[in-house]
Structure 1
């Protein structure tokens, strides 16, 4: 039998079936054989289950983190912090009636990331289409710098931002910022002041706020938008301030002067209701509007020192009357000039007669004033002016305050010339403060730019004059407006009183009779003075119609205009007739 036949026989004998009916009697249980395909299928199912589980876990983690991030407060992770954390906020500045004088507005600043700039030349060319005034060389230098950040332009307008965005320059971005905005522009520039590019106070009440601790809070990061600062209210009345500014602008142009200034002061509280200085500037854009040649950023009212001329005769008269050595019934011989120490003192409007105290004041006699000072004496004269605060630096919130100058040694000639306003230089604001003491009952009250009640003013007031002196000075002030050089300041029904001052300025070491500094010191209503108005005009060149270039013909007219326009706003009602009860009627 062949090998192949034997194999076929053995195979037929070994054949069996797996069913119970096919099992041989006494044979053991059959073995179960699983094929390769079945084993592989089971492993695949296990792997799929593991993968599903893994994906489920991953997605659960991602979902959980998304929920966590959604519920967590935003965190700043960029290298450039938000504007609120880098540029300090400032409180709004308001006038006494709540009108906004200064506030923060949101703006944007343009920056570049030089390492992301593709084509600096193209970027400069495109930017110049929106910002034609940029320095192209400087911008190109910044765009090719090795740093990762460069400022290109601070405080853009929304229109500029939109146009630059439309250019689509890579590496150019915007950063939110704050800008100080002054709605009134130049109207209250010297009073409110201005800030620098970093929103820090540079001058005026803006600087005062920083001096009171605002700058320190900004350094500590406590002046962000999240820490809202209470607005600061000033004593200034924006309506009066507008009047003062308008009169100064008109007067300076009309009389071709190089400067002018005015202040309206509450005689009983020391509150400054309006203060202006010309030339001025726009605090919204100080860098471009401040003229260094004319010193337009100089506050002439509080920071300028001037010889105040004949307005000082008011203080000379008050000194003589208060000393008790002179009374209203006394007279002084002004028939001849006064010769002393090689100098000659004469009257500008010489009457060449014996003058009463009222005549000395009304005719503005230099001779009579010098003799009054001589009666009091050098020591008494110096002490009185110091008592009225005219020789020391006044205390107020405004940082721009000058210290008066006086001769190192007072001699007899010094006292006599100071009596009519030469030899001592002080500020117009100090002069107004001292004049208020002559009108309000004899109380010297330091001026303030913050609201103050009469009771608060009385707590720090110093009595410097006797009651009878005040009454006499009110009489003299009114007489000068009715019959003297202050006639053009009179306003019907408002009972204005005042004193003119025409001072010759020093030119090349000598007094020049053609270069003058004019002033007018007024109070109203004179029967019970509520307000003091001080107006100065520097080097007027054009004469008023039918008048000259003396103080009564320019500073006096300007003071009268301020009083006429502001009296009603200040609550002063006109009074007509002998007893003040008459009314004006028109038909």
Structure 2
């Protein structure tokens, strides 16, 4: 009855299957395996958790050590003396304002294992379409060598690397290396020099400071001001073009410490690609070239006359007739043919008057004086490219006379700039330097303050009444001296129409701060100069432009040209013409 009732409600009944002994054993085995798996998983989780806890504990202790126990203000470094294998990247070079002018970057080079090159000709032709600077014939020669390793190109661009990689040529490989880069291009070519493919300095400051640049991480700071350098290079380049000169040189020198603010030699080159420049472009006219620089030497000759006590500003010399010494005749260019005062000898650039000054103080004094201001030794400026002055082994009377007006002795423009600085700064000679110095160097007194003041007056007078008028930059009281000399021929004697035209100046003359020297090599006169190519016509105007543009950058403020105080300081009476 109960069963029929359950069936009415929809429930059914099935007979219960009885479990055999084997079924019970199978179920027990299955339960044991499940239990074992759970235990194994639990064990693994515990081990993993313990390891993670240990790791985080270690990290925590290290963080506490770094943040709380260590002195983080001083990074830990290795002592160089304890590790001979410790090396630095080549240090950067900056100008005096901090502008980067040389640095080291990572570049990619292309090398090859010729043994793995299956088709050298085909590979060379494909590479030649990418490495356009290398002839296909040269590439083929490299890829055909019986060698394990050859350099194909020591510096390739990322684009070239990508294209070469896409060629899929077996046997080619890329290698990363350091390369020197010069962000300013030609601007300081002869100052910086350059490095070879192995990043070793082979010219300029790169060579002079090889050890310093490769053993310390600090940047080498130059005394050169990149802004002034740009101005000077621009003005000399324009003058070279205007007067068809084959070369040019210019220097801006701090008169009171010898630091070189600008140094230019043209033509120049791009130190990023030195191999593409001509041999002439690599020649540094400013420090390596030595020349007979003509009447600029009358600055030194006048200083010798005053300092030796054989003359004063009132002394006079008969320049009415040429001087005959042995088989040589000394003449004046556009001479006055009369007696000249010492200031007039300087202003009118009388060779006769200069020779008679030299005769008064003598050859011995002249040689000692020039030695004292560095004219008989290579310039101490920090460059490997420095020329050795040329002067007579035996200092005879004729040598003494010609040297008095800048012939018979050959020096570099750097010699003249440094020498003139010592003549106008109060009488102290400083060695020229391209490296920025925090302290003023110790100089050597070479003339008295009184003689130096007289030289300043002479140079300023030359800009008013002599050949320096075209160098006058309004408000800066420029003073200077021209120099025009025929070039010495390789076969001896002097060239007829090849000359060195120069001008050396200082400003402001009542308290000189800078010396500026400009030289043009073989300039040609034009309609503007009435055919003249002398220093006063072609070099003096460059001085005016450089001073006008660079003085504000150098912090030199223009002065009222009518300032009674300054004009009185520089006043110089010319006896013959009876005017000041």
Please give the range of the TM-score, normalised by the shorter of the 2 chains.
0.7 to 0.9
Return the index of the structure with the highest Cα Rg. 1
**Do the aligned partners of 1:373 and 1:416 also contact (CA within 8 Å) in 2?**
yes
Which of 477, 493, 503 is residue 485 of structure 2 equivalent to?
503
Q: Deviations over 1:79-133 (max 9, x none)?
A: xxxxxx9997311100000001111122101112233333333322221221233
Report the Cα offset of residue 482 of structure 1: 0.9
Find out whether 1:113 has 2:101 as its counterpart.
no
> How many Å separate the matches in 1 of 2:146 and 2:86?
24
> How many Å separate the matches in 1 of 2:151 and 2:351?
62
SS at match of 1:540: coil
Report the Cα offset of residue 452 of structure 1: 2.3
**Do the aligned partners of 1:87 and 1:198 also contact (CA within 8 Å) in 2?**
no
Find out whether 1:540 has 2:528 as its counterpart.
no
The aligned residue for residue 570 of structure 2 is: none
The aligned residue for residue 449 of structure 2 is: 467
Report the Cα offset of residue 179 of structure 1: 1.8
Find out whether 1:248 has 2:213 as its counterpart.
no
Find out whether 1:299 has 2:284 as its counterpart.
yes
Change (3 A) 1:374 1:544: farther
Q: Structure 2 matches for 1:519-558, cutoff 5 A?
A: 519-543=502-526, 545-547=528-530, 548-558=532-542
**Do the aligned partners of 2:504 and 2:515 also contact (CA within 8 Å) in 1?**
yes
> How many Å separate the matches in 2 of 1:233 and 1:142?
41
> How many Å separate the matches in 1 of 2:146 and 2:534?
65
> How many Å separate the matches in 1 of 2:564 and 2:126?
72
The aligned residue for residue 189 of structure 2 is: 189
Find out whether 1:287 has 2:270 as its counterpart.
no
TM-score (norm 2): 0.80
**Do the aligned partners of 1:311 and 1:521 also contact (CA within 8 Å) in 2?**
yes
Q: Deviations over 1:197-234 (max 9, x none)?
A: 11111111111111x4556x5xxxxx8xxxxx111110
> How many Å separate the matches in 2 of 1:94 and 1:296?
23
Find out whether 1:361 has 2:319 as its counterpart.
no
Change (3 A) 1:142 1:411: closer
Change (3 A) 1:117 1:451: same
Q: Structure 2 matches for 1:138-287, cutoff 5 A?
A: 138-210=138-210, 212-214=211-213, 217=215, 229-287=217-275
SS at match of 1:202: coil
The aligned residue for residue 33 of structure 1 is: none
The aligned residue for residue 544 of structure 2 is: 560
Q: Deviations over 1:454-511 (max 9, x none)?
A: x532xx2100001110010000000001110010000100000000001112234222
Q: Structure 2 matches for 1:332-351, cutoff 5 A?
A: 332-351=317-336
TM-score (norm 1): 0.79
Which of 340, 343, 364 is residue 379 of structure 1 equivalent to?
364
Aligned residues: 491
Task: Give structure 1 stretches of 5+ with no counterpart.
Answer: 1-55, 57-66, 68-84, 218-222, 224-228, 583-587
> How many Å separate the matches in 1 of 2:373 and 2:526?
34
User: For the aligned residues, what is the CA RMSD?
Assistant: 2.7
SS at match of 1:186: helix
SS at match of 1:311: helix
The aligned residue for residue 488 of structure 1 is: 470
Task: Give structure 2 stretches of 5+ with no counterpart.
Answer: 1-43, 45-54, 56-84, 567-580
> How many Å separate the matches in 1 of 2:118 and 2:395?
75
> How many Å separate the matches in 2 of 1:403 and 1:90?
31
SS at match of 2:208: helix
SS at match of 2:129: helix
Change (3 A) 1:518 1:464: same
Of residues 255-264 and 106-115 in structure 1, the stretch that sits farther from structure 2 once superposed is 106-115
Find out whether 1:517 has 2:500 as its counterpart.
yes
SS at match of 2:249: strand
Find out whether 1:429 has 2:411 as its counterpart.
no
The aligned residue for residue 100 of structure 1 is: 100
